[in-house]
Amino acid sequence: MRGTSVLSEFNDHPRLKVRFGTGWDTCNYHCEYCVTDQPLGETSGATGSLPILTRIGQGITSPSKIAGKLSSIGKRLASAQAPPEVAEWSEEKYLRVIDRFAELPFRMDVRIGVGGETFINKTVVEGARRLSNHDNTFAVNLISNLSFSFAQYQKIFQGFDLSRVALVCSFHPTEIKDVDKWIETAVQINQIVDLAIVLVAWPPLMAELRANKARMEAVGLEVFVQAFHGWHDQEKYPEAYSDDDRALLRDVFYSQHDFDHMVDLKQPGKCYAGVDYVYVDINGNVSRCGTYKTPIGNVFKQLNLLQRPAACPGTECWCDTENLNTVEFRENYQLVGLNQHKYVRRQPSPATID
Ligand code: SF4
Ligand code: SF4
């Protein structure tokens, strides 16, 4: 575990928030709405990484699911809002970047970004374990679909410094066989790491959104809702949310800020991306953020951080943690701990993130 003396040694270093785009994109779930277009099939045991079209035939369970998935993929490929390209996964490169983070003169707050499931890849887990033990690590932010048992997570977390780990668990009711058990596991995990649950506002799940959120909050879980970005029934979301949908989302969203950016696609304005937040790819290349990849160096060579917030080069910021870098966010909200998804409204005077 980290000692107080080590902590104080790094307290003087500036904090650097990082989204590390690992390129790991394989999942053991196959949600129809997945932004990384996971292959269709059974919800267990997938550890390979093959292109979707070659895997579609391996585990077909529902014709409507296949049609929905293919339609979603086709629409997304034709859309100007296709997810930004992510450099390809490599075990060796991944661990090299993780080890390099230990040498950077910052208090590192790293979100290990995956397009699949974190905990089905032993190397991804090993990197997270190493990162949690670096002297200069402030936080390791991870994501999981919570498809393992609590006992399995306990085993996976052996050797981690859990006092530095924050976890977001995404709730995917179309894939979960036993929802009661899933919530029970979340409650147990919440005892050992800083946990937040995310619910996706995919149109077919809207009817249960409020009840699912209330049910989880009733057992002490912190829950946030994420807007669906993509195509459903020939319509593009979030633009296609109805007025009733928007009223519901406004009610269940974590904050007005989240709603503005994720549902209303508010223009981002000036942003701290590149100042004390960066996106790092698996080759060590550093960009202001992962949405509009303005290059600002490489972790193995030079890091050319910006001196002050600058205008967003794009028109929308809807990555669920990157939109927290806007000047507007910092003026009105404050992160409160390890978890990049937990924040509170500032009262009453603005200040900057430490
Ligand atoms: S759990 Fe997440 S990564 Fe896996 S298929 Fe579902 S949405 Fe995609
Ligand atoms: S507002 Fe969002 S998209 Fe724009 S620079 Fe900042 S993080 Fe990137």
Which atom of ligand 1 lies at the shortest distance from residue 147's CA?
A: 1
**How many angstroms from the chain centroid is the CA of residue 193?**
16
Residue 190: count other Cβ atoms within 10 Å of its Cβ: 18
DSSP-assigned letter for residue 291: S
Pocket of ligand 2 (CB under 6 A): 268, 271, 273, 288-289, 291-292, 312, 314, 317, 322-323, 325-326
- Residue with CA nearest ligand 1 atom 3: 116
- How confident is the prediction for the chain on average, in pLDDT? 85
Q: Whats the size of the chain, residue-wise?
A: 354
Angle 183-156-338 from CA coordinates, rounded to 5°? 70
Output 55 or 226, whichever has higher pLDDT: 226
- The enclosing H or E element of 231 equals strand 230-232
| Structure confidence at residue 246 as a pLDDT band (50, 70, 90) | very high
Q: What is the C-alpha to C-alpha distance for residues 140 and 180, in angstroms, rounded to an integer?
A: 28
pLDDT at 213: 98
pLDDT at 347 over 90: no
- 28 touches ligand 1 (CB under 6 Å): no
**Considering the entire predicted model, what is its pTM?**
0.85
pLDDT at 84: 60
Q: What is the C-alpha to C-alpha distance for residues 312 and 267, in angstroms, rounded to an integer?
A: 9
Q: Hey, which of 53-57, 211-215, 340-344 has the most confident mean pLDDT?
A: 211-215
pLDDT tens digits for range 42-80: 333 333 333 333 333 333 344 454 454 444 444 444 444
Least confident of 33-37, 49-53, 262-266, 339-343: 49-53
- Residue with CA nearest ligand 1 atom 7: 34
DSSP-assigned letter for residue 35: T
Contact yes or no for 271/281 (Cβ under 8 A): no
Strands ordered across the beta sheet of 15-21: 223-227, 194-201, 165-171, 137-144, 107-113, 15-21, 277-281, 285-287, 295-298
DSSP-assigned letter for residue 219: T
Question: How many Å lie between the centroid of ligand 1 and the Cα of residue 140?
Answer: 20
Contact yes or no for 286/306 (Cβ under 8 A): no
pLDDT tens digits for range 173-207: 999 999 999 999 999 999 999 999 999 999 999 99
Question: How many Å lie between the centroid of ligand 2 and the Cα of residue 164?
Answer: 26
Calculate mean pLDDT across residues 145-156.
Answer: 97
SS3 content of the chain, % helix, strand, coil (to 5): 35, 20, 45
DSSP-assigned letter for residue 320: T
Q: Which ligand is nearest to the CA of 267?
A: 2
> Can you count the helices (H) and strands (E) in the chain?
11, 15
Q: What is the C-alpha to C-alpha distance for residues 178 and 158, in angstroms, rounded to an integer?
A: 26
pLDDT at 110 over 50: yes
Question: How many Å lie between the centroid of ligand 1 and the Cα of residue 23?
Answer: 14
DSSP-assigned letter for residue 281: E
Contact yes or no for 314/259 (Cβ under 8 A): no
Which atom of ligand 1 lies at the shortest distance from residue 145's CA?
A: 1
CA distances from 157 to 111, 142, 179, 209 (A): 17, 12, 23, 30
Question: How many Å lie between the centroid of ligand 2 and the Cα of residue 52?
Answer: 29
- Residue with CA nearest ligand 2 atom 5: 312
